[in-house]
Amino acid sequence: MSFVTLSKQTINHQLQMATIFSKSLTRTDIENRLAVPKQALKLLPNFGDRHRVCIRAKDHGGYFWSFECSIRRNGHPKPVLACSNWLAFVRYWDLRVGDTIQLHRERDEFTGVEFKIVVQVAD
């Protein structure tokens, strides 16, 4: 059996994190669908010729969620998370108007790209 020793510097190079977006939730976000800022598109999975992609994200509690992100087929893309899993996430974390979510993209050389979703409760 052999063991690999990684330095802190090596680990930092292997794991790179980028914030895709941070958003204060609105009533529409918690009751219907999450409107995703358009500038987040460049850090989300490539849509190619499709109008939907699946985003598998781990929350700050360690649970994995599969969200479907879609864009309009014509005109302004306006990305949204409009799937039952988004509303289940809202209920699970008891999200309210004014709470903030952050979606992060991590690049891990061992496991590939991974998404994290973090909730910050409003005061």
Tell me the pLDDT tens digit for each residue of 41-95: 777 766 677 767 788 888 988 888 988 887 776 766 666 677 778 999 999 999 9
Question: Domains along the chain?
Answer: 15-120 (2.40.330.10)
C-alpha distances (whole Å) from 108 to each of 9, 10, 11, 41, 69 are 14, 12, 9, 20, 22
Residue 60: what pLDDT? 86
Residue 38: what pLDDT? 80
- pLDDT of 8 > 60? The answer is no
The residue with tokens 């998404």 is 115
Percent of the chain scored above 90 by pLDDT? 27
Q: Are 41 and 79 in contact (CB under 8 A)?
A: yes
Residue 113: what pLDDT? 64
Q: Model pTM?
A: 0.76
**Cβ neighbours of residue 22 under 8 Å, at least 6 residues apart?**
100, 101, 102, 103
- pLDDT of 16 > 80? The answer is no
Residue 76: what pLDDT? 62
